[in-house]
Amino acid sequence: MDIRTAIKERKSVRKFLDKPVDKRTIEELLEVAKWAPSGANCQPWRVDVVMGKKKDEITRAILEAKEKGITEEPEMDYYPETWKNPYKERRFKCGLALYSAIGIKRGDVEARKEAWFRNYKFFDAPVGLFFSMPKCLGTGYLVDMGIFIQTVALAALDFGLSTCIQASLAEYPNTVKRILDIPDTFSLICGMSLGYEDKNAPINSFRTQRVSIEDFVNWHQ
């Protein structure tokens, strides 16, 4: 797959097949992704791969905390405290289209909750990835983390795999770091579901749109 096609075809998959991903395939994927650029070649990323019982343990721990109303503080402020346009409108349209794709009405609180909680089940993907970086590095290295994570997502397509990059999987950093023995000297950035797309699932037919380049490009001569 050429890079232009990969960039355009990459999407957030939210329903995966019950089909395992070979460990060697994951290793080869990360061997490709490790060539992502980083400032001063510091390569700040740490990746924790979860499958099987360990992945299920994380799911149970987060869902139990959610049901009990227990919260933790994410180690990175991903969403703003107050949404402003045009981002507020884009977020609204994204959520509306997503829930419409699976037939959930706006006022159906319980169905929306159930759909959201699927985040913590990795959308039934057989593999979960957690990305973290050392706290001793500056926030500028979040740029490098984003580049690396995108590289993983794009490379996955060449292996016939799909992904969903999830800030939600970093909502409970203390829980995840405890289960995976991630040192507290690292900040948990986000997670990713990885596996084979269920192409028959209605939710995977949902695609977000992009604004025209005229909306974000400024030319100077």
Tens-place pLDDT, residues 87-116: 999 999 998 888 888 888 888 888 888 888
Task: Report how many domains make up the chain.
Answer: 1
Query: What pLDDT band is residue 145 in, cutting at 50, 70 and 90?
Result: very high
Average pLDDT score over the chain: 95
40 in a structural domain:
yes
216 in a structural domain:
no
Q: Which amino acid is at 36?
A: A
Distance between CA 164 and CA 125 in Å, rounded? 9
92 in a structural domain:
yes
**pLDDT score at 97:** 85
Residue 125 has pLDDT above 90, yes or no: yes
Q: Which of 27-36, 54-63, 201-210 has the lowest mean pLDDT?
A: 201-210
Residue 114: CB atoms within 10 Å: 11
- The token pair at 176 is 């995840």
Tens-place pLDDT, residues 33-91: 999 999 999 999 999 999 999 999 999 999 999 999 998 889 988 888 899 999 999 99
213 alpha carbon, distance to own chain's centre:
25
What's the CA dihedral at 31, 171, 197, 98 to 10 degrees? -140
217 in a structural domain:
no
212 in a structural domain:
no
211 in a structural domain:
no
214 in a structural domain:
no
> What is the rounded average pLDDT of the residues 129-147?
96
**pLDDT score at 177:** 98
Distance between CA 92 and CA 159 in Å, rounded? 33
**pLDDT score at 26:** 98
**pLDDT score at 98:** 86
> What is the rounded average pLDDT of the residues 186-210?
95
DSSP state of 121: G
**pLDDT score at 99:** 85
Report the SS3 class of residue 78. coil
**pLDDT score at 106:** 80
- CATH classification at residue 69: 3.40.109.10
**pLDDT score at 59:** 98
64 in a structural domain:
yes
117: containing domain:
3-75+84-206
